[in-house]
Amino acid sequence: MFKKNLKLLDFALLMSFLNFLFFHLPFFTFVFNKADHKSLSGVTIIISLIILMLVLNSLLFYLILFLSRFAGKSLLVLFFIINSIAVYFINTYSVIIDESMIGNIFNTNYQESSSFFSFKLILYIVLLGIIPAIYIIKAKITTPTLKKFSVTSSLTLLLITILIFANASNWLWIDKNSKTLGGLAMPWSYSVNIALFYVHKSQKNEKEILLPKATIKDNKKSVVVLVIGESARSQNFSLNGYGKNTNPLLSKTPNVFSFKATSCATYTTAGVKCILEPTSSDDLYEILPNYLYRNDVEVIWRTTNWGEPPVHIKNYQTRENLAADCKGEGCNYDEILLSGLKEQILASKKNKILIVLHTSTSHGPTYSKKYPPRFETFKPVCNSVELGNCSQTELINAYDNTIIYTDYILHNVIEDLKQLKEFNSAMLFVSDHGESLGEKNLYMHGIPLSIAPKEQYEIPFIVWVSDNSKQLKPKPDQILSQNNVFHSVLNFLGIQSPVYNEGMNIFK
């Protein structure tokens, strides 16, 4: 098998065919479902994309291997291994490997990535990645002359050009679906989007653009606890009309108001940034905690999550920081964020306090491990990381239990704030984005916002205020946004600022 010398063109064609066979079922499933395969136009699109995929990849592999055998083989090995991982996640979670998904991957920590580990993933890597990689390394290839290489490349480019212009009538269809097509084409989905991610990142300002100076208007003791939810979607909150009672405590709590809202994005990094900035922007403006801290407000950030913009404050506390003084079962879950919180507020020497609790309660795929066993109200639950292996009932039960646990955490925040009699207190709960739970065969989040289903961007916005502090402006059916948070916190704490927008403030 390895003794026979292969011509470079034959080897490039073989690699393109294997790449097509192993990694492009999702690509062509999408094409087949979207194109009208019963019409001549649809058939033309499907056949043309198959030929283009095979020919274009062959040409690129041919070029790379001709320029450098070692570099070419190394890249092919890398492509097959990464392709095997990528197509596992595409098949298992219906993700699209676009630029925002690349950002998600680079912001993933070990704890999150390890939750995706499964035997099926290992099979994908071994069968579709490692075994082909061994063959690639051992294959013996003969290199053509420069003249033959030039002729072959020129004819291939001519064929590609003819195919492209022959599909001129289908360009509109291809442009309309380009984001998904580009996110499913291996290995160029992640190759191109990694390059785009770093290009766009280099074009963005790395240093925060500082906001104009703010002024504290009064000395009244005020505290806001902003709870940033993780993957919480509004339709599973009984406060928003969900059929199952997922808010047994908040539904009985006076001064709790629940609104529907939309997120700026479907992934954590952009969602959290949007919650903390005055208006949605691609630029990195000074975020709320940094802004208030710089203007003499006490700011405390507690997190069991990741992916937030740079936070420049004194009291930034992670799970590890909080674990030392936490006791009990809840310390293994998001309750750790409440450990000693009331005492920390009372110890402050400042009159204006912002607390940010960045939770991870509803992050998949291991929903059933995000809450203590006593909160497993709905059964049976999904315990697999391969969500498609569970029934939708099991999956939604596990997810709904995370909402019940969120309800418990928010209730405890409110109970702590009620005891601070000297303070005007408020709690705001806003999620970074929503979550798909098998609807349209989609799971979790991260689909580009332009094509994302509503489950991934419709989020809860829950507010509690202490007696005699503030009333709310929005009507119950008004849809809010994540940007309402910045201006509402400024208003509640009595902070005057040139960037304050009364129209985005929810308090009277």
What is the per-residue pLDDT across 381-426, written as a single tens digit (0 to 9) for each? 999 988 988 999 999 999 999 999 999 999 999 999 999 999 999 9
106: Cβ contacts below 8 Å, ≥ 6 apart: 197
Q: Where is pLDDT greater, at 506 or 111? A: 506
Report which of 320, 349, 352 is spatially closest to residue 336, judged by C-alpha positions. 320
State both tokens at 319. Answer: 């799970």
Percent of the chain at pLDDT exceeding 90: 69
> Beta-strand (E) ranges in 68-186?
141-142
pTM (predicted TM-score)? 0.85
- For 239-271, write each residue's pLDDT tens digit: 999 999 999 999 999 999 999 999 999 999 999
Element (H, E) at 77: helix 69-93
Confidence bin at 443 (pLDDT 50/70/90): very high
Q: Is the model's pLDDT at 453 over the cut of 90?
A: yes
Compute the distance between CA of residue 401 and CA of residue 362 in angstroms, rounded to an integer.
9
Question: Contact at 8 Å (CB) between 419 and 467?
Answer: no
Which sequence spans correspond to the domains of the chain? Answer: 6-203, 222-504
Confidence bin at 2 (pLDDT 50/70/90): low
- For 496-505, write each residue's pLDDT tens digit: 999 999 999 9
Mean pLDDT (whole number) for 166-186: 81
* pLDDT of 307: 86
Question: Contact at 8 Å (CB) between 87 and 190?
Answer: no
Compute the distance between CA of residue 409 and CA of residue 404 in angstroms, rounded to an integer.
9
Report which of 290, 16, 256 is spatially closest to residue 136, judged by C-alpha positions. 16
381: Cβ contacts below 8 Å, ≥ 6 apart: 367, 368, 394, 397, 398, 401
Q: Residue 418, Cα to own-chain centre: how many angstroms?
A: 34
Residue 258 phi/psi, 5-degree rounding, is -120, 135
Strands 436-437 and 424-431: unpaired
- Using alpha carbons, list the distances in angstroms from residue 284 to 37, 209, 278: 45, 6, 11
482: Cβ contacts below 8 Å, ≥ 6 apart: 261, 262, 263, 264, 271, 274, 275, 430, 459
Compute the distance between CA of residue 264 and CA of residue 445 in angstroms, rounded to an integer.
13
- For 272-297, write each residue's pLDDT tens digit: 999 999 998 888 899 999 999 999 99
Confidence bin at 41 (pLDDT 50/70/90): confident
- Separate counts of helices (H) and strands (E) for the chain: 18, 14
Of 85-94, 407-416, 423-432, 458-467, which range is least confident?
85-94
Compute the distance between CA of residue 395 and CA of residue 381 in angstroms, rounded to an integer.
6
* pLDDT of 99: 82
- For 92-148, write each residue's pLDDT tens digit: 888 888 887 887 777 776 666 677 778 899 999 999 999 999 999 999 999 899 999
Where does 222-504 sit in CATH, by number? Answer: 3.40.720.10
Percent of the chain at pLDDT exceeding 70: 97
Report which of 450, 409, 408, 406 is spatially closest to residue 431, judged by C-alpha positions. 406
Q: Is the model's pLDDT at 205 over the cut of 70?
A: no
**Torsion sign across C-alpha atoms 281, 284, 290, 295:** negative
- DSSP-derived letter for residue 285 is B
Compute the distance between CA of residue 19 and CA of residue 3 in angstroms, rounded to an integer.
23
Residue 322 phi/psi, 5-degree rounding, is -80, -25
Name residue, tokens 């799971």.
Answer: 443
Mean pLDDT (whole number) for 195-202: 81
Mean pLDDT (whole number) for 454-470: 95
* pLDDT of 392: 94
Q: DSSP alpha helices (H): ranges in 375-497?
A: 392-418, 484-493
* pLDDT of 454: 96
Q: In DSSP terms, which residues pair with 259 in a beta bridge? A: 461
- Using alpha carbons, list the distances in angstroms from residue 268 to 197, 271, 273, 421, 450: 16, 5, 8, 35, 16
Q: Where is pLDDT greater, at 32 or 126? A: 126
Report which of 495, 450, 498, 501 is spatially closest to residue 473, judged by C-alpha positions. 501
Compute the distance between CA of residue 405 and CA of residue 118 in angstroms, rounded to an integer.
26
Average pLDDT across the chain, whole number: 91
Question: Contact at 8 Å (CB) between 103 and 58?
Answer: no
Compute the distance between CA of residue 408 and CA of residue 410 in angstroms, rounded to an integer.
6
Confidence bin at 344 (pLDDT 50/70/90): very high
Question: Contact at 8 Å (CB) between 263 and 434?
Answer: yes
Half-sphere exposure at residue 196, Cβ-oriented, CA atoms within 13 angstroms: 15
* pLDDT of 457: 97
Of 6-15, 17-26, 157-166, 197-206, which range is least confident?
197-206
